[in-house]
Amino acid sequence: MNDLFEKCRSFEDAKRIQSAGIYPFFRPIESTSGSTVVTHGKRRVMIGSNNYLGLTHNPRVQAASKRAIDQYGTGCTGSRLLNGNLALHEELEHRLAAFLGKEACVVFATGFLSNQGALSALVGRGDVIYSDRENHASIIEGQRAALGETVKFRHNDMADLERVLSLTRSKYQGALIVADGIFSMSGDIFNFPEAVRLAEKHNCRIYIDDAHALGVLGTKGQGTEHHFNMAGEADLVMGTFSKSFASIGGYVAGTEEVIHYIKHKARPFMFSAAMPPAAAGAVLECLKIVEEEPEHLENLWKNASHMSRELMRLGYNTLNSRTPIIPLLIGDDLRAFTFTQKLYERGVFATPVVSPAVPEGCALIRTSYMASHSMDDLNYVLDVLDKLGREFGITGQGGRQDELAALAQHHFGVKSLAHAPA
């Protein structure tokens, strides 16, 4: 009889990377200013954060969080269904629904629980989820918890979505097309207009995960629907507050009757302690800032556009990302770990993405940019990336641009330039 913990004793993957001195995970952050962090006693420019609007150190947000603690204490000590429902939660739901253009909204303790809760509550036996293959892990866990079936389609490939709908839709009762608005690793934007057309044709509902789109897409940061000037076309929109909104928590927004149902059927909502007061207070203030101070969103896109243009000029393959998430295609996993470590040693904090999160041989450095980055920050990062790109043979004369372009085409469907534009 095998010991349950045998798998733990034999797990060597992370230990091998640690022993090689290129382990890039669990780095202890000693202090942060938002755009820079101090780790191992050294200040480094952070290009691995989801703090897109740079609001984690905003004085208004910090003050609101402190006021919430003064009024409500440090925790709710129970679920919202029973004893943890604050007036602050309900104010946030009302304000957020209005901001998104939805009838109603429910706030969960985390974004992960939002996806897990809503999908498992709504998709029952006989129903189906049509899921993009690059959807976030929280969507995958929601699919596993749901009693219905899941049918996957190739990443952002509407022809493949139509193919699987044509083949399978008649087998199921209710159907839900589920996709990220911005995909967290590649920075792709979901082809929402075509998905809406297919949903109408095949009698499906649409669920969009705007975790990385809230505060980023649309003229006011309202997300994917608004980016395409298609407000109200998604049946449900989910998002999280752990990125642009500088805190923790999540939400699902839609019609009043659907949100009412989720509040009374989603186990991760009903049986989890409520979002803490400090977090709810911070998020509510972030929402007010987004509505009142458009300069944060403007700065974000100015910085993202600058980095996208300059990284392509240096010769990096960015999978043609057009969002503040800009991946750098590196190649094999070991090369990505080593590259990340060299960045770290030179004062740049970034994160690698390796198999199985991406296809074998297609490891990325996931870089992301914030409104709070200064031009000095960004130009320093570019200088380091220029030198390392040449050192690793990724950019420069005789670099691997053609090879990486072929990988991008084959594995990501990206018709990317093999060389930097003139």
342-379: pLDDT as tens digits:
999 999 999 999 988 888 899 999 999 999 999 999 99
Q: In what order do the strands lie in the sheet with 36-39?
A: 29-32, 36-39, 42-46, 348-349
Per DSSP bridges, beta strands 128-132 and 175-180 are parallel
3-state SS class at 198: helix
Q: Among the ranges 4-13, 193-202, 401-410, which has the highest mean pLDDT value?
A: 193-202
Confidence (pLDDT) at 291: 97
User: For residues 213 and 345, is the Cβ–Cβ distance under 8 A?
Assistant: no
Which are the contacts of 30, defined by CB distance < 8 A and separation ≥ 6? 37, 38, 39, 41
Q: Read off the amino acid at residue 333.
A: D
d(CA 217, CA 213): 5
Distance CA 312, CA 389 (A): 12
Per-residue pLDDT averaged across 390-394, rounded?
Answer: 95
- Is pLDDT above 80 for 218? yes
pLDDT given for residue 413 in this prediction: 79
- Domain 16-46+295-412 and domain 59-292 have a common topology: no
Whether residue 88 has pLDDT greater than 50: yes
Flag whether pLDDT at 3 surpasses 80. yes
- pLDDT of 398 above 90: no
Domain boundaries, the chain: 16-46+295-412, 59-292
- The pair of structure tokens assigned to 410 is 């084959």
pLDDT at site 197: 98
- pLDDT recorded at residue 419: 42
**Strand pairing of 351-353 and 42-46?**
unpaired
Six token digits for residue 199: 């949903």
Measured CA distances, 197 to 101, 164, 177, 203, 228 (Å): 20, 15, 12, 10, 13
Task: Summarize the confidence of residues 60-88 as an average pLDDT.
Answer: 98
Asked whether residue 422 carries a pLDDT value surpassing 50, the answer given is no
61: closest CA among 242, 285, 243, 293? 285
pLDDT at 211 (0 to 100) = 98
With 90 as the cut, is the pLDDT of residue 408 above it? no
- 418: confidence class by pLDDT, cuts 50, 70, 90: very low
What is the residue-averaged pLDDT of the chain? 95
Crossing angle, helix 87-100 and helix 277-292, to 10 degrees? 30
Nearest to 89 by CA among 101, 102, 71: 71
pLDDT at residue 417, rounded to an integer: 53
Residues 6 or more apart whose CB falls under 8 angstroms from that of 6 comprise none
Domain 16-46+295-412 has CATH 3.40.50.300: no
pLDDT above 70: residue 132:
yes
CA-to-CA distance for 56 and 239, rounded, in angstroms? 17
- What are 365's strand-pairing partners? 328, 352
Residues 6+ apart with CB under 8 A from 410: none
Which own/partner pairs from 331-337 qualify as long-range (CB within 8 Å, at least 24 positions apart)?
331/361, 331/362, 331/363, 331/394, 331/400, 331/403, 331/404, 331/407, 332/361, 332/363, 333/363, 334/22, 335/363, 335/392, 336/363, 336/364, 336/365, 337/17, 337/20, 337/22, 337/23, 337/24
24 prior amide bond cis, ω within 30: no
pLDDT of residue 358: 86
| Average pLDDT rounded to a whole number, residues 166-192 | 97
| pLDDT higher than 50, residue 285 | yes
306: helix, coil or strand? Answer: helix
Is 415's pLDDT higher than 80?
no
Closest CA to 126 of 170, 72, 190: 170
Q: What percent of the chain has pLDDT over 90?
A: 91
* Long-range CB contact pairs, 116-119, < 8 A, 24+: 116/141, 116/142, 116/145, 116/268, 117/142, 117/252, 117/262, 117/266, 117/267, 117/268, 117/269, 118/142, 118/207, 118/236, 118/238, 118/252, 118/262, 118/266, 119/143, 119/145, 119/146, 119/176, 119/178, 119/207
pLDDT at residue 416 in the model: 53
Assigned CATH class of 59-292: alpha beta
